[in-house]
Amino acid sequence: MSDSLTKLATELEYLIDKTWNLYVTVTDFQPQSQSRIDQILNEIIGLLKDIDQTKGQCQDIHIPGQLLNYIDDLKNPQIFTRDCLQRTLERNEEINGKNETLGKFADILAVELSSQFPTQMAQYRLWKSKSSFIDQ
């Protein structure tokens, strides 16, 4: 699969390069450059055929729709990766904060329950220590 992706990436790079060459040639069009334009167009058609032939080998690749939106908005796809990582870090910090808060709440709750229900909490602690010993 990675050979297919490497080949596809190479063909896409050639396609971009040939398209750029076509753009440059057409923008500075001279009648004698028509043969060069025809040559570039034929090369582009060949590259598109090659890319079309490799599509069967790359069907298991899933591209996030959000990434395509970044590209449509003329943004660098690496910005998408950076933004995803940033959102993941922020979410991780949020979850860690919630876990810490819940841990503190559980400690406070245990202290309060121990003061109100000492016998039941002693039984609970005994049961909890036995069940954690069994899980190990």
pLDDT, one tens digit per residue, over 81-133 is 899 999 999 999 999 999 999 999 999 999 999 999 999 999 998 998 888 76
Which residues form the domain of 74?
63-136
The domain boundary residue, chosen from 61, 81, 100:
61
| 68 and 124 housed in the same domain | yes
| 30 and 51 housed in the same domain | yes
pLDDT reading at 44 higher than 90: yes
**pTM attached to this predicted model:** 0.49
**Dist CA 12 CA 51 (whole Å):** 8
| 48 and 115 housed in the same domain | no
Residues 68-82 have pLDDT tens digits of 888 899 888 888 889
Residues 6+ apart with CB under 8 A from 37: 22, 25, 26, 29
**Dist CA 83 CA 89 (whole Å):** 10
**Dist CA 64 CA 68 (whole Å):** 7
**Dist CA 51 CA 57 (whole Å):** 10
* Tokens found for residue 54: 């490799």
| 57 and 67 housed in the same domain | no
- Check if the beta carbon of residue 44 is closer than 8 Å to that of residue 22: yes
- Of 68, 66, 64, 21, the closest CA to residue 40 belongs to 21
Instruction: Output the pLDDT for position 1.
Output: 53
